[in-house]
């Protein structure tokens, strides 16, 4: 590490700590989602934060600390994947075309699992606990899951998500769309498979 006490007597470690602290929970959540396990997530976060500390001169505008940190975590994760011979962006993108048209809202309306409910759709969602949603979500391919995480969970705009993932905006938009479809289909399949709902055309 370089010894630089330039910043008007503020030590780099101190400056960095105040940049990072407000985002630690969010960054950790992102790491858990990327890694699928908490110990790996802690490891990844630590690795990324060390990189950030070394490269903090690259952050010119402290207001952008949040997306800067998410970018560093993403890159650290991608490097791990690469070193294990797996390339994130070459995971098959061909979710079959039929998947694109699935609508959970329509499916719940048509299958009508709660005939006496006047809040059919919300009742469907109430069947799911956090762990159920997490399991469905974890089954979505990372390329489609990450844009969803960044926008829906962490509140980044599509443009910011594109910058963090280092892909064109159009790519993020189409992956978001697919991710949503996979989430919706996943929710329905999960509910049927785990018998959270009974549907008419059951085989047995």
Partner 1 sequence: MTLIDCREAVSRMWDYLSRDLDAVDQDEVEVHLGLCRRCCGELEFSRELRAMVAASESERLPPTARNRIRELTQEPPAPGAS
Tokens describing residue 139:
């089954």
Percent helix, percent strand, percent coil in the chain, to nearest 5: 70, 0, 30
Could you say whether residue 151 binds partner 1 (CB under 8 A)?
yes
Shortest distance in whole angstroms from residue 199 CB to partner 1: 19
Q: Are residues 123 and 117 in contact, defined by beta-carbon separation less than 8 angstroms?
A: yes
Whichever of 33 and 67 has its CB closer to partner 1, that residue is: 33
Could you say whether residue 102 binds partner 1 (CB under 8 A)?
no
Return the H-helix or E-strand segment holding 179. helix 169-193
Whichever of 97 and 203 has its CB closer to partner 1, that residue is: 97
CB burial readout 127-140, b (16+ within 10 A) else e = ebeeeeeeebbeeb
Considering only residues 117 to 136 of the shown chain, the ones binding partner 1 according to CB under 8 A are 121-122, 125, 128, 130-131, 133-134
In terms of phi and psi (left: phi > 0; alpha: psi -120 to 50; beta: otherwise), the region of 155 is left
Could you say whether residue 139 binds partner 1 (CB under 8 A)?
no
In terms of phi and psi (left: phi > 0; alpha: psi -120 to 50; beta: otherwise), the region of 202 is beta
Whichever of 3 and 201 has its CB closer to partner 1, that residue is: 3
The residue range among 13-21, 60-68, 87-95, 195-203 that interacts with partner 1, by the rule CB under 8 A, is 13-21
Could you say whether residue 105 binds partner 1 (CB under 8 A)?
yes
Considering only residues 59 to 98 of the shown chain, the ones binding partner 1 according to CB under 8 A are none
Could you say whether residue 20 binds partner 1 (CB under 8 A)?
yes
Q: How far apart are CA 178 and CA 93, in angstroms?
A: 10
Q: How far apart are CA 125 and CA 108, in angstroms?
A: 10
Residues that bind partner 1 (rule: CB under 8 A) add up to a total of 47
Tokens describing residue 111:
């299958």
Could you say whether residue 103 binds partner 1 (CB under 8 A)?
yes
Could you say whether residue 141 binds partner 1 (CB under 8 A)?
no
Residues that bind partner 1 (CB under 8 A): 11, 13-14, 16-17, 20, 24-29, 32-33, 38, 42, 45-46, 49-50, 53, 103-105, 121-122, 125, 128, 130-131, 133-134, 137, 148-149, 151-153, 155, 157-158, 176-177, 180, 183-184, 187
């Amino acid at each position: 590490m370089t010894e630089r006490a330039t910043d008007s007597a503020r030590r780099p470690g101190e400056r960095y700590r105040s940049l990072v602290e407000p985002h630690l929970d969010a960054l950790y959540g992102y790491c858990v989602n990327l890694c699928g396990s908490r110990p790996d997530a802690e490891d990844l976060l630590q690795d990324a934060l060390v990189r950030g500390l070394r490269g903090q001169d690259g952050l010119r505008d402290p207001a952008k600390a949040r997306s800067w940190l998410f970018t560093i975590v993403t890159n650290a994760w991608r490097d791990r994947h690469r070193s294990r011979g797996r390339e994130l962006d070459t995971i098959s993108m061909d979710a079959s075309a039929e998947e694109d048209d699935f609508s959970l809202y329509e499916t719940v309306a048509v299958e009508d699992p709660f005939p006496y409910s006047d809040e059919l759709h919300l009742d469907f969602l109430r069947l799911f606990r956090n762990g159920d949603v997490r399991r469905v979500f974890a089954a979505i391919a990372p390329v489609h899951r990450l844009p969803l995480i960044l926008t829906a969970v962490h509140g980044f705009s599509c443009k910011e998500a594109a910058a963090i993932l280092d892909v064109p905006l159009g790519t993020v938009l189409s992956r978001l769309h697919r991710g949503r479809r996979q989430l919706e289909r996943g929710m329905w399949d999960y509910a049927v498979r785990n018998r959270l709902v009974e549907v008419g055309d059951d085989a047995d």
